[in-house]
Amino acid sequence: MLNAEVDARIDVSADDVLQAHRKRMEDAADLGFSVSQERVPVERGTLQQSGFAPEWRGDRLVFGYTARQAAPIEFGTDPGHTPPIEPLMRWAERIGKDAGFGAWVATVKIPEEGVDAQPYLAPAAERMGPWLNNHGLDL
């Protein structure tokens, strides 16, 4: 007679599980940050450069962007939003237009029409979900 026996016992402490979970979360956050850096709109690079890599803040792992235009670009804006004028005047000059065009965009066009969303963090979060579902804890 041929027998096979499997011992399913594992000697794992609660600290081992916590550390494996933290590592899994860090790997997912690294992936998410990379995706966001690839997707962030780049005109001058200030938004992309304002990105901060995943870091633990207490028991939360966070990454994101600190530039003032981060939320308006991610979520878009409704009519009525008035952006700062000076950056749009400089933008107009960079694209070969008069600074007055940038002032018009800031004071008329955007307040009347709003700005379409250009998500870069939402795609990162969407990519992290399947990754987490497919990667269990390595103990």
Contact 105, 87 (CB under 8 A): no
For residues 33 and 51, state if they share a domain: yes
Task: Give the pLDDT of residue 99.
Answer: 94
Domain that holds residue 40: 16-69+119-139
Residue found by looking up tokens 């599980």 in the block? 17
Tell me: do 32 and 20 sit in the same domain: yes
pLDDT at position 138, please? Answer: 61
* Tens-digit pLDDT profile for residues 12-70: 788 888 899 999 999 999 999 999 999 998 877 899 999 999 999 999 999 999 999 99
Q: Tell me how far apart the alpha carbons of residues 139 and 128 are, in angstroms, rounded to a whole number.
A: 21
62 and 124 together in one domain: yes
- pLDDT digits 0-9 by tens, 73-88: 999 999 998 999 999 9
Please give the Cα distance from 16 to 104 (Å, whole number).
Answer: 59
The more confident residue out of 4 and 39 is 39
Residues 23 and 63 in one domain: yes
Question: Do 83 and 51 share a structural domain?
Answer: no
Same domain, 35 and 94: no
Q: Number of folded domains in the chain?
A: 2
- Same domain as 138, residue 111: no
Q: How many CB atoms lie within 10 A of CB 5?
A: 4
Give a yes or no: residue 5 inside a domain: no
- d(C-alpha 124, C-alpha 32), whole Å: 5
pTM score: 0.80
Helix, coil or strand: residue 122: helix
Q: Which amino acid is at 127?
A: R
Q: Is residue 29 part of a domain?
A: yes
Whole-angstrom distance, CA of residue 70 vs CA of residue 117? 11
Residue scoring higher pLDDT (103 or 6) = 103
Q: Is 102 in the same domain as 125?
A: no
- Asked whether residue 4 is domain-assigned, the answer is no
Residues 20 and 64 in one domain: yes
